[in-house]
Amino acid sequence: MSRHHHAPELPYCRNCHYTLAAPRPVYCGHCGQETDLHPPSVREMFTEYLGHYVAFDGPLWRTLWALIALPGHLTNAYFHGARRRYVLPLRVYLSASFLFFVGSHLLPHGPVEADDTGQQALASVDQPGKRRLKHDETPAQAAAAAASEAGQSPVEFTTKDC
Which among 45-59, 110-124, 146-160 has the top mean pLDDT?
Answer: 45-59
Distance of alpha carbon 141 from alpha carbon 134, whole angstroms: 10
pLDDT tens for 30-75 read 888 888 777 778 898 888 777 776 776 778 888 889 999 998 999 9
C-alpha torsion 40→43→47→48, nearest 10 = 20
Q: Poorest-confidence range of 6-15, 27-36, 73-82?
A: 6-15
Provide the pLDDT for residue 124: 46
pTM (2 decimals)?
Answer: 0.40
Q: Degrees (nearest 5) of the Cα angle 42, 61, 87? A: 60
- Burial of residue 145, with CB atoms counted within 10 A of its CB: 0-12 exposed, 13-18 middle, 19 or more buried: middle
Please tell me the predicted confidence (pLDDT) of residue 31.
85
Q: Which helix (H) or strand (E) is 121 found in, with range?
A: strand 120-122
pLDDT confidence of residue 97 = 93
H helix and E strand count, the chain: 5, 2
The reported pLDDT for the residue numbered 1 is 42
Contact 44, 36 (CB under 8 A): no
pLDDT-derived band at 121 (thresholds 50, 70, 90) equals: low
Closest by alpha carbon to 117, among 138, 136, 93? 136
Pairing of strands 120-122, 112-114: antiparallel
- Percent of the chain past pLDDT 90, that is, above it, reads 9
User: Mean pLDDT: which of 24-28, 49-53, 145-149 is highest?
Assistant: 24-28
d(CA 147, CA 162): 21
Estimate to the nearest angstrom the gap between the alpha carbon of 56 and the chain centroid. Answer: 22
pLDDT band (50, 70, 90) for residue 153 = low
